[in-house]
Amino acid sequence: MSDYKINLLAVSDPKIKTLHITWFAFFLTFMVWFNHAPLLIFMKEAFDMTSQQVKALMILNVALTIPARIIIGIMVDKVGPRKIYSGLLVISCFLCLAFSFAQTYEQLALFRFLMGFVGAGFVIGIRMVGEWFPHKSVGVAEGIYGGWGNFGSAASAMLLPTLALIYGGENGWRYSIATTGVVAGLYGIYYYKAARNTPKGSTYFKPKKAGGLEVTSWKDFYLYLLMNIPMYVALAVLAWKLSPENLGLLSEVATNSIYVVLAIIFVFQVSQIWKVNKENLTHGVPELEHYKFKQVAILNWSYFVTFGSELAVVSMLPLFFLETFVELDPVKAGLLASGFAFMNLIARPTGGWFSDYFGRRKSLMVLIGGLACGYFLLSQVNSGWWIPLAVIATMMCSFFVQAGEGAVFAIVPLVKRRMTGQIAGMTGAYGNVGAVTYLTILSFVDYSTFFMLIGASAVIVFFIAMMLDEPKGQISETLPDGTVHMIDVG
C-alpha cells in the first residue's frame, strides 16, 4: 500500500480485512436505521397517518442518535470498538423486530425513536479504522468505511420495497424491515469473533478520565461547554415538536418534564467535564499534550451541514420524488431517491483522498462550497423537470455532501488519538443535530425552501471552515507506564 492507495483486494492483509468487516458492520447499521424511509407509504396507509405524523417519525429517527453518539464515543475509547460494535448490532436486531411488528402509531413512534440508537454505530468504526491505518492513508480508509457503510441507506431504498412485495400481503413491509434486523444481529456475533481493536503489538490508547473530552486551556473549556448547548437545544426542539401545540404525541406534563430532564443532564454533564479537566486547567499540561478544541468545533459544524443534510434528505427524498412526479409509484420513487445515498460508494472515499492529497482545510472548503451550490440547484427541481435530469442533479449534490463528510472524518483521527472515539462521537452527534434542525424546518416550509435553507447554512459553514488549522507535525500520547509516544499527523 502506498501513501494514498489502498489495495482493497489484499484481504490477507489484516488491516484490509479489518476495513472490510468494519464497513459492512456500518452498512448494516445504516440499512437498519433507514429501513423505514422507502416503506413510509405502506406505513402511512397501515396506520392511517397524517403528513405531520410521517414527518414526526423522520425526526424521531435521528433524535436519540445525538446523545447515543456521545455515549458510544466514550465507551469505544474506554472499552474498544470490537465489543461495542458487536453489542450494538445485536441490540439493533431486537429494536428492529419491535418496530416492525408495532400495532399502534404510538408504538411505532416509540421504537423508531429507540432505533436512533443504532445510528451511533458510525462512531465505532472511525476509531477502529484510525487504529489500523497510518496517517497518510487514513483519509482514504475512513472514506471507504464511511462511504461504503453509508450506502446501507441506499440499499434499503433499493431493496426493501421490492422485498416487501415479494413477501406480499398487508404485512409484507413488516417482514421486510424485520429481515434487516435479523441479519444485523447475526453479523454482530460474527464481528465479535473476527475483529481486533488494534494491529498485533500496537497499544490501544485510552483517555485518562471518562465523562468528557480533555481540553488544554480555559478558552477551549468554555468553547467546549458552548458547543454542547446545540445538542440539548435540538432535543428540546424535538420535544416541542411532539408537544400538544404541535403533533400532540406528548402531553404538556411530559413535554415540560423532558425540558427539566434535559436541563438537569446538561448541568450534570458540565460537572463531569469540569471533573475531567480540573487538574489540567488548574495545573496546566505539557506543551506536547496541547491541542486546539476549535478544530473539533469546526469539524462539528462541518458535519452539521454535510451529514445532517444527508440524513434529512435521505429521510424525505422518496416522498419528495413521489409527490413531485405523480407518474412514479413507491418502488420507482425509492429507487430514484437511492441515487442520493448511492454516491457514497465513491464520493466519501474521494473526499478522504482529496483531504490526504490536497490538504485538509482546502479540501473541506471546496467540498462544502460545492454542497451549497448543489442544494441551491435542488431547490429549483419541480414537476416540470425531466426526471432523469432531476436524478442527475440529486447525485451531483450528493457527491459534494458525502465527499465533504469524507473530508471531515479524514481529520478527526488526527486531532488527538486517545480521544478519537469521543471526538468522532461529538462530531457525529452534530450531524444528527443538523438532521433534527433541517427536518424541523421541513415541517414548516415547502421542499424548495427546504433545499434553499440548507444551501444558505452551508455558505456560513464555508467561512467557518476557513479557520481550520492544517494538521501537521506530531501529536503525543502517553502510555500507561508514563512513556510519551509520538504519532505523525502530517
Model confidence pLDDT, tens digit, residues 220-237: 999 999 999 999 998 898
Report if residue 31 sits inside a domain.
yes
Report if residue 250 sits inside a domain.
yes
What residue ranges in 18-140 does DSSP mark as E strands?
none
Mean pLDDT of the chain: 86
Predicted local distance difference test score (pLDDT) of residue 63: 78
pLDDT in tens, 454-470: 999 999 999 999 999 88
Confidence of residue 472 (pLDDT cuts 50, 70, 90): low
103 pLDDT more than 80: yes
> Burial code of 171-186, b = ≥16 C-beta within 10 A, e = fewer?
ebbbbbbbbbbebbbe
Number of domains in the chain: 1
Confidence of residue 488 (pLDDT cuts 50, 70, 90): low
Taking the CB of residue 88, how many other CB atoms lie within 10 A of it? 24
177 pLDDT more than 50: yes
Predicted local distance difference test score (pLDDT) of residue 59: 76
Q: Which of 141, 130, 47 is nearest to 81 (CA)?
A: 130
Q: Which residues contact 48 (CB under 8 A, 6 or more apart)?
A: none
Are 180 and 35 spatial neighbours (Cβ–Cβ below 8 Å)? yes
Q: Which of 338, 345, 406 is nearest to 371 (CA)?
A: 406
Q: Which residues contact 226 (CB under 8 A, 6 or more apart)?
A: none
Report if residue 3 sits inside a domain.
no
Predicted local distance difference test score (pLDDT) of residue 233: 92
Cα torsion through 317, 323, 328, 331, rounded to 10: 40
- CATH number assigned to the domain comprising residue 58: 1.20.1250.20
Tell me how far apart the alpha carbons of residues 202 and 189 are, in angstroms, rounded to a whole number.
Answer: 24
Report if residue 8 sits inside a domain.
no
Report if residue 300 sits inside a domain.
yes
Higher pLDDT, 173 or 314: 173
Q: Which residues contact 58 (CB under 8 A, 6 or more apart)?
A: 37, 312, 315, 316, 439, 442
Report if residue 1 sits inside a domain.
no
56 pLDDT more than 60: yes
Q: Give mean pLDDT, residues 40-68.
A: 84
Q: What's at 178, amino acid-wise?
A: A
Q: Which of 248-257, 324-333, 378-387 has the highest mean pLDDT?
A: 378-387
Q: How many residues in total does the chain contain? A: 490
Structural domain that includes position 42: 14-488
* CA-to-CA separations, 69 to 125, 186, 340, in angstroms, rounded: 12, 23, 24
* Residue 292 backbone phi and psi in degrees, to 5: -100, 120
476 membership: H or E segment, kind and range: strand 474-478
Predicted local distance difference test score (pLDDT) of residue 475: 52
Q: Give mean pLDDT, residues 90-96.
A: 95
Report if residue 475 sits inside a domain.
yes
For 403, the grid coordinates are: 465527499
Are 178 and 35 spatial neighbours (Cβ–Cβ below 8 Å)? no
1 pLDDT more than 50: no
Higher pLDDT, 242 or 255: 255
Residue 5 three-state SS:
coil
Tell me how far apart the alpha carbons of residues 321 and 333 are, in angstroms, rounded to a whole number.
Answer: 6
DSSP secondary structure letter of residue 219? H
492513508: which residue's cell? 137
For 204, the grid coordinates are: 490501544
Confidence of residue 481 (pLDDT cuts 50, 70, 90): very low
Confidence of residue 473 (pLDDT cuts 50, 70, 90): low
Confidence of residue 52 (pLDDT cuts 50, 70, 90): confident
Cα–chain-centroid distance for residue 422? 14
Report if residue 5 sits inside a domain.
no
Q: Give mean pLDDT, residues 262-272.
A: 92
Tell me how far apart the alpha carbons of residues 429 and 183 are, in angstroms, rounded to a whole number.
Answer: 26
Name which of 143-157, 215-229, 327-341 the model is least confident about: 327-341
Predicted local distance difference test score (pLDDT) of residue 4: 52
476 pLDDT more than 70: no
